[in-house]
C-alpha cells in the first residue's frame, strides 16, 4: 500500500509531519487529493480518532489516517484535534514533495 505523508508547514515555525494516509492503489493527484480530503475538518475532526464525537458521528474519521503528531490538551483536559491541511502545507508521495496550492498541488524541486 502507498502512503502519503502530510506535513503541516503553512502556519508553523517548523514543518511537522502530522499524518500518514494510506491511499491504496491511488496514484498522483488522486492520491494527494485523498490525503488532503481526509486531513481536513469537514464534518468532525480528522485527527481525533473516534467514530463518534459526543453523540454525533465524526464524519471525518477514516481508518486510513494515522495521526503522527500529538494532540493538544488544554488546561481543562479537553483534547483538541489538528487543524485542516491548508494551502502552503506539504505532502510527500513516492519520495516526491508537493506543496498544497490554491488549486491542486505543486511539485517542489
State pLDDT tens for residues 62-72. 999 999 999 99
Domain count of the fold of the chain: 1
Average pLDDT over residues 74-91: 96
The model's confidence at residue 54, banded by pLDDT at 50, 70 and 90, is confident
**Distance in angstroms between the alpha carbons of the first and the last residue of the chain:** 25
Domain that includes residue 40, residue range: 2-107
User: Considering only CA atoms, which of 3, 5, 23, 8 is closest in space to residue 72?
Assistant: 8
Place of cell 517548523: 14
DSSP state of 27: -
Neighbours of 50 (CB within 10 A): 13
Residue 6 has pLDDT above 90, yes or no: yes
Amino acid at each position: 500500500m502507498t502512503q502519503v505523508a502530510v506535513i503541516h508547514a503553512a502556519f508553523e515555525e517548523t514543518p511537522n509531519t502530522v499524518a500518514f494516509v494510506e491511499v491504496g492503489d491511488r496514484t498522483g493527484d488522486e492520491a494527494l487529493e485523498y490525503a488532503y480530503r481526509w486531513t481536513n475538518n469537514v464534518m468532525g475532526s480528522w485527527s481525533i480518532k473516534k467514530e463518534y464525537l459526543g453523540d454525533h458521528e465524526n464524519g471525518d474519521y477514516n481508518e486510513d489516517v494515522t495521526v503522527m503528531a500529538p494532540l493538544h490538551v488544554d488546561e481543562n483536559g479537553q483534547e483538541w484535534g489538528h487543524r485542516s491541511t491548508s494551502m502552503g502545507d506539504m505532502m510527500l508521495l513516492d519520495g516526491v514533495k508537493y506543496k498544497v496550492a490554491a488549486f491542486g498541488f505543486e511539485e517542489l524541486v
